[in-house]
Chain A
Amino acid sequence: MSDSFEMDVALPEGGRRMPVYLLLDCSESMAGTGIEAVRHGVELFERETKGDQFARQTVHVGVIIFADDAQLLDGGLVPIDEFHAPALAAAGVTSLGKALTLLNQSLDRDVRTPGQGSQKGDWKPLVFILTDGFPTDDWQTQRGAVLDRQERKTINVITVGCGTVLDRDRLKAIAIGPSFVLDESRDKEGAFIQFFRWMTQTVTNMARAASLPGAKDDAAVNLPKPPSVLQFNL
């Protein structure tokens, strides 16, 4: 007979994860205030996501920086509790294709699908691409692979254009999922901060919504209202 009011039941050792990828353009066009603003923005994202009761339990971050080359920092997805905003420097060209290659590789390698080793699958990854919209390598092939994932609804991608050389038409060609243009004309630093705050809100909202049955996973539906500095790139 049991005298205890508590039940001693075996629970899983880990929960479902919400993968969040940040693809950050660190090319020459971002030099100066731009790259500083991005760094502050990532710090804000780290701070506010860690401070959210629900997002803190699930969000895992993968940061891919790209300029002449591309690099997936920390080699994969990092729990938000262990994540630290990286130091960023701007130089070189915009190797978006290489960044998308790393993204595709990580999605295949690091994101868990249900049943692999009887483990829980991850929530649908959320991908933010921040770029000057002026790629200098072969980006079309890898972009096609990412677009295929988006159309199969296995990821959510949001593309944001920024920087002085931004070409809106080119951004449309690059964009996967909803795309925005960051208006830096009045306050560059403030604009980036507002973008990252909105991005954090999107992540925390998605982290909560994902745990509910039948919750819509269409990012376009779940996006919080963008700040005024973030304009739809129609």
Chain B
Amino acid sequence: MSGTDQSTYCAGMAFGDTAIRHVDAHLDWRAGHARHESYGVVGASAIGHLHLRNTSRRDDAFAVRGLGRWLAVAVADGDGSRPQSRIGACYCAEALSEGLINVAAHLRATPTGAESRGGHADPSDDSGADTTIPPRDRGRLGSGPPGVDANTGEFATAEYIPVSLAERTAPPPEANDSIGLVGWNRIAYQQGHPGSGSPSPGQAATAATRDLGQAVRQAFTATRAGLEAFIHSRRQHLQDVPCTLLGLVMDTTTGEFACGQIGDGAITALHWDGTPHLLLTPPSPGGTGEVYVITQSDWGDRLAVSAAKAAEAARIATLFLMTDGVAEDAIYGPPVDQFRRWSQSIDRELRASHQLAATAIRLLRFLATYEVPGSWDDRTLVAVLANRTVHPEELPPTGASIPTPEPTSSRAGPADADNP
């Protein structure tokens, strides 16, 4: 590799499952981790006990992407009654995470930070640009979304890979544990370093919340179109690969995020004050065992989308995305306060070590081995752990539930468990 500048680091990252193309390398157990900007991300997916006994495959998939200030997470759950459903789940997880990054990176930005205090961006204002992506790379982003070619199902991100891997510099020593690398697949890298290319949260150009929600819808649309083309290229049918799909994209400079969900599973948040929240309640067919999937013709009517402004996001310590194999055990009791108990205890465990690699392995082991009667499905959980830094300009008017800001670097790891 060329270059030795220790202040230059790789700010793009990717881990998780990838689309099954020529070789089916979908593993039974998968874990990964990364630090992206001021967030820690840990994800793991374990094959269910019933699949193990039946010698069938893991139908869950997850993917995590980071580029500049953007962070995207997707999880998917293939329909257990379809033996090829993991193909849909893997494709959708990768495509949605990719699409979320791609679409979000095209968002206009507001230069004033008013949005972070609950205001709205002026849609006519085009003065903003994603300053976390270097100028020479912005020109390669293409003219706009989607992130997936609707004709081929291939990811369109190749056009914004700025330069080859060989031109990249190695991460600085202190960032050696910044990513648990599972596999790189056409994900953009960027150059920059803390304090120069990235504005502070208070000064950051903030994507309009409504645009972020729209980005989620666009990314789901692109993913659905891409899946159709991808499956067609495999000479299969959409009904062979039904899956649920959940995704989240976040502006890491402000914490502002939006998420979308079709089907079961859950996207939840644990506030700093210890209260858990279900962020989305997507439509449900009601019957036990019935679930909406991205492959159905009216999928758009089944998609739920929610967005959080910076003030709301500042209250959140951890975001969780999970398939129903985890959600069933996390949200429902008895006891009646199971959701709170689970959220607080898993958060405590995820923050118990500063080494994300160890945390990822512990999470995978937990998901693979814990026992609850009737809980035999694949289990997938991705957690986005916020740093404890709270910027004054992001405080809501009341500010009652926000802890006192603590000094920390912009790339610090998760907070100490002893000081939650």
Distance of B419 from chain A, by nearest CB (Å): 12
B159 at the interface (CB under 8 A from A): no
Bound: A217/B80 CA distance, A: 12
Which of A7, A12, A119, A211 is close to B376, meaning CB atoms less than 8 Å apart? Answer: A211
Contact with B along A131-164 (1 / 0, CB 8 A): 0000000000000000000000110000000000
Inter-chain contact B374/A16, CB cutoff 8 Å? yes
Contacts of A12 in B (CB 8 A): 329, 332-335, 338, 372
Bound: A193/B82 CA distance, A: 33
Bound: A213/B85 CA distance, A: 11
Which of A6, A53, A57, A215 is close to B365, meaning CB atoms less than 8 Å apart? Answer: A6
- Across the interface, name the chain A residue whose C-beta is closest to B292: A214
Contacts of A84 in B (CB 8 A): none
Inter-chain contact A8/B345, CB cutoff 8 Å? yes
Inter-chain contact B50/A208, CB cutoff 8 Å? yes
Contacts of B242 in A (CB 8 A): 214
Bound: A123/B352 CA distance, A: 36
Supposing A9-B345, A58-B373, A58-B374 touch, asked if A117 and B288 sit within 8 A by C-beta, the answer is no
Contact with A along B261-294 (1 / 0, CB 8 A): 0011000000000000000000000011111010
B328 at the interface (CB under 8 A from A): yes
Inter-chain contact B334/A13, CB cutoff 8 Å? yes
Distance of A215 from chain B, by nearest CB (Å): 5
Inter-chain contact B362/A5, CB cutoff 8 Å? yes
Inter-chain contact A11/B79, CB cutoff 8 Å? no
Distance of B78 from chain A, by nearest CB (Å): 8
Contact with A along B358-390 (1 / 0, CB 8 A): 000111011000101111110000000000000
Contacts of B353 in A (CB 8 A): 1-2
Which of A14, A123, A213 neighbours the largest number of chain B CB atoms within 10 Å of its CB? A213
Bound: A9/B376 CA distance, A: 17
B336 at the interface (CB under 8 A from A): yes
B342 at the interface (CB under 8 A from A): yes
Inter-chain contact A216/B333, CB cutoff 8 Å? no
Distance of A1 from chain B, by nearest CB (Å): 6
Distance of A217 from chain B, by nearest CB (Å): 4
A120 at the interface (CB under 8 A from B): yes
Inter-chain contact B80/A214, CB cutoff 8 Å? yes
B244 at the interface (CB under 8 A from A): yes
Contacts of A216 in B (CB 8 A): 81, 289
- Across the interface, name the chain A residue whose C-beta is closest to B332: A120
- Across the interface, name the chain A residue whose C-beta is closest to B376: A211
Contact with B along A36-50 (1 / 0, CB 8 A): 000000000000000
Inter-chain contact B81/A214, CB cutoff 8 Å? yes
Inter-chain contact B287/A217, CB cutoff 8 Å? yes
Contact with B along A184-224 (1 / 0, CB 8 A): 00000000000000000000000011111111110000000
Which of B291, B333, B370 is close to A9, meaning CB atoms less than 8 Å apart? Answer: B370
Distance of B362 from chain A, by nearest CB (Å): 6
B341 at the interface (CB under 8 A from A): yes
Supposing A1-B352, A1-B353, A215-B81 touch, asked if A10 and B341 sit within 8 A by C-beta, the answer is yes
Inter-chain contact A117/B349, CB cutoff 8 Å? no
Contacts of B354 in A (CB 8 A): 1
B39 at the interface (CB under 8 A from A): no
Contacts of B338 in A (CB 8 A): 10, 12, 118
Distance of A171 from chain B, by nearest CB (Å): 27
A15 at the interface (CB under 8 A from B): yes
Bound: A17/B349 CA distance, A: 29
Contacts of B336 in A (CB 8 A): 117-119
B130 at the interface (CB under 8 A from A): no
Distance of B407 from chain A, by nearest CB (Å): 21
Bound: A149/B337 CA distance, A: 31
A92 at the interface (CB under 8 A from B): no
Interface set, chain B 404-420, CB cutoff 8 A to A? 417
Distance of B297 from chain A, by nearest CB (Å): 16
Bound: A203/B80 CA distance, A: 18
- Across the interface, name the chain B residue whose C-beta is closest to A14: B334
Inter-chain contact B77/A7, CB cutoff 8 Å? no
Which of A7, A54, A118, A211 is close to B362, meaning CB atoms less than 8 Å apart? Answer: A7
Inter-chain contact B288/A123, CB cutoff 8 Å? yes
Contacts of B329 in A (CB 8 A): 11-12
Supposing A118-B333, A214-B293 touch, asked if A10 and B342 sit within 8 A by C-beta, the answer is yes
Which of B50, B289, B332 is close to A123, meaning CB atoms less than 8 Å apart? Answer: B289
Contacts of B375 in A (CB 8 A): 15-16, 211
Bound: A154/B341 CA distance, A: 30
Distance of A156 from chain B, by nearest CB (Å): 10
Which of A58, A119, A208 is close to B334, meaning CB atoms less than 8 Å apart? Answer: A119
Bound: A121/B286 CA distance, A: 11
Sample (12) of A-B pairs whose CB atoms are under 8 Å apart: A12-B333, A12-B338, A14-B334, A14-B373, A118-B338, A119-B333, A121-B288, A122-B288, A212-B377, A213-B325, A214-B80, A215-B79
Known: A9-B349, A12-B335. 20 other contacts (CB 8 A): A1-B352, A2-B349, A2-B362, A5-B365, A6-B365, A7-B362, A12-B332, A54-B50, A58-B374, A119-B336, A121-B288, A123-B288, A211-B377, A212-B80, A212-B289, A213-B324, A214-B85, A214-B293, A215-B80, A217-B288
B-to-A contact residues, CB < 8 Å: 48, 50, 53, 59, 77-82, 85, 242, 244, 263-264, 287-291, 293, 323-325, 328-329, 331-339, 341-342, 344-346, 349, 352-354, 361-363, 365-366, 370, 372-377, 417
A-to-B contact residues, CB < 8 Å: 1-2, 5-18, 53-54, 57-58, 114, 117-124, 153-154, 208-217
7 smallest CB-CB distances across A and B, nearest first, come from A212-B80, A15-B373, A15-B374, A214-B79, A2-B352, A10-B341, A57-B373
